[in-house]
């Protein structure tokens, strides 16, 4: 046999040797993937913290602007009939985008409107302009761009008629990452999108999103309240329904919204299909535990509720969430499910 052929055979891998090498490489990749995922998630947690810091600075600047009311942005509409409806910021001659005169909003939407404006031309605030036949003390019906609305554009100069403030309260980098529910649905990030079809105009309103492409939820505190959350006509420090369109909300009269599936999948709770652990509305208890109220941390009635998620067990004198003097921000975190332990929030939670 040719010596060169023998030498080539000695240098070549056998099929068995090749399979062994491939198996070893596969094992190494499988071992390293969780580490890579952990590193990526830690980086995204850091990014979320940076977003929160920027939003905090922006909201404090918004609050410091006396022309905007000297308060933090609202997290719900002041519409007396429906706290989720405002006049469409893009009415355009009365037709509105997709022919919708009013849009459904959440706290996440209103935070974005406060920081950059619904039209992206900076913040006009939330004010009663009297565009609907006289001042009525409410701003929800003046958030359009028709004559007198806070988003009206001068047809000659093409500039906003009402003053805009802050030059944008967040950086261009954060603005560029804003998305709408419609954006997330179009790229397949929302599995159950039937509710988007009910109001396509609402789905076009922008929100801040976390690095996992889920909305950053915003809840403004009602400092005068006694209860932790709103229940029926009793106002709470925070209202779970401010972001109910996104998280889902059920209880009392039954299922109101399923919420949206950002990748966590469905679960049946109390006979309702839910995608997040803060969808359930329970009876808010006005009395703290020491005065005969429930043990919120252990009472099964509070399983998978907004109350348990935000409650501060150290506040024994009064049922009170953390940061009750200001606002809450909640990112769903790596599991894309709101109300779980990997959520990223702007307060320190006892079980983290």
> Average pLDDT per run of 10 along the chain, which is 352 residues long?
54 70 76 69 91 94 91 95 90 63 92 94 92 86 91 90 89 92 84 65 87 95 81 81 89 68 86 86 63 75 85 66 79 94 86 58
Predicted confidence at residue 323, as pLDDT, reads 63
Dihedral in degrees, nearest 10, Cα atoms 60, 62, 67, 68: -120
Q: How crowded is the C-beta side of 304, counted as CA atoms within 13 Å?
A: 18
Predicted confidence at residue 300, as pLDDT, reads 83
Q: Tell me the backbone φ, ψ of residue 219, rounded to 5 degrees.
A: -130, 120
What interhelical angle do 107-116 and 15-64 show, nearest 10?
A: 70
178-207 exposure pattern, b = at least 16 Cβ within 10 A, e = fewer: bbbbbbbbeeebbeebebbeebebbbbbbb
Predicted confidence at residue 128, as pLDDT, reads 93
Residue from 117, 75, 99, 123 nearest 202 by CA: 99
Predicted confidence at residue 188, as pLDDT, reads 77
Angstrom distance (rounded) from CA 45 to CA 41: 6
Predicted confidence at residue 78, as pLDDT, reads 94
β-strand partners of 280: 250, 305
Predicted confidence at residue 224, as pLDDT, reads 80
What is the pTM for the complete model shown?
Answer: 0.86
State CA 242 to chain mean position distance: 10
Angstrom distance (rounded) from CA 161 to CA 2: 91
Residue from 81, 101, 82, 80 nearest 91 by CA: 101
Q: Tell me the backbone φ, ψ of residue 289, rounded to 5 degrees.
A: -55, -40
Predicted confidence at residue 13, as pLDDT, reads 60
Q: Tell me the backbone φ, ψ of residue 156, rounded to 5 degrees.
A: -95, -50
Angstrom distance (rounded) from CA 194 to CA 31: 39
């Amino acid at each position: 046999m040719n010596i060169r052929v023998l030498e080539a055979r000695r240098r070549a891998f056998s099929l068995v040797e090749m399979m062994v090498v491939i198996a070893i490489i596969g094992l190494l990749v499988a071992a390293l993937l969780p580490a890579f995922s952990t590193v990526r998630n830690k980086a995204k947690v850091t990014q979320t913290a940076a977003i929160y810091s920027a939003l905090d600075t922006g909201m404090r600047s918004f609050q410091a602007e006396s022309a905007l009311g000297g308060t933090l942005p609202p997290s719900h509409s002041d519409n007396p009939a429906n706290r989720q409806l405002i006049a469409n910021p893009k009415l355009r001659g009365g037709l509105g985008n997709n022919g919708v005169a009013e849009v459904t909003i959440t706290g996440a939407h209103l935070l974005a409107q406060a920081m950059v404006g619904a039209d992206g031309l900076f913040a006009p605030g939330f004010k009663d302009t009297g565009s609907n036949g006289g001042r009525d003390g409410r701003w929800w019906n003046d958030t359009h761009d028709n004559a007198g609305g806070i988003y009206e554009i001068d047809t000659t100069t093409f500039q906003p008629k009402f003053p805009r403030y802050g030059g944008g309260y967040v950086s261009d980098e954060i603005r560029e990452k804003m998305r709408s529910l419609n954006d997330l649905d179009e790229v397949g990030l929302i599995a159950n999108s039937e509710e988007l079809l009910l109001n396509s105009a609402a789905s076009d309103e922008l929100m801040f999103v976390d690095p996992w492409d889920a909305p950053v939820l915003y809840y403004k505190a009602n400092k005068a309240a006694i209860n932790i959350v709103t229940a029926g006509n009793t106002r709470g420090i925070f209202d779970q329904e401010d972001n109910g369109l996104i998280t889902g909300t059920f209880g009392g009269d039954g299922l109101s919204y399923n919420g949206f599936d950002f990748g966590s999948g469905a679960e049946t709770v109390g006979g309702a299909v839910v995608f997040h652990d803060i969808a359930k509305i329970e009876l808010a208890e006005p009395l703290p535990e020491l005065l005969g109220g429930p043990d919120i941390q252990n009472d099964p009635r509070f399983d998978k509720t907004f109350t348990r998620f935000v409650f501060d067990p150290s506040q024994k004198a009064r049922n009170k969430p953390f940061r009750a003097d200001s606002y809450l921000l909640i990112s769903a975190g790596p599991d894309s499910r709101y109300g779980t332990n990997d959520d990223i929030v702007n307060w320190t939670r006892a079980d983290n």
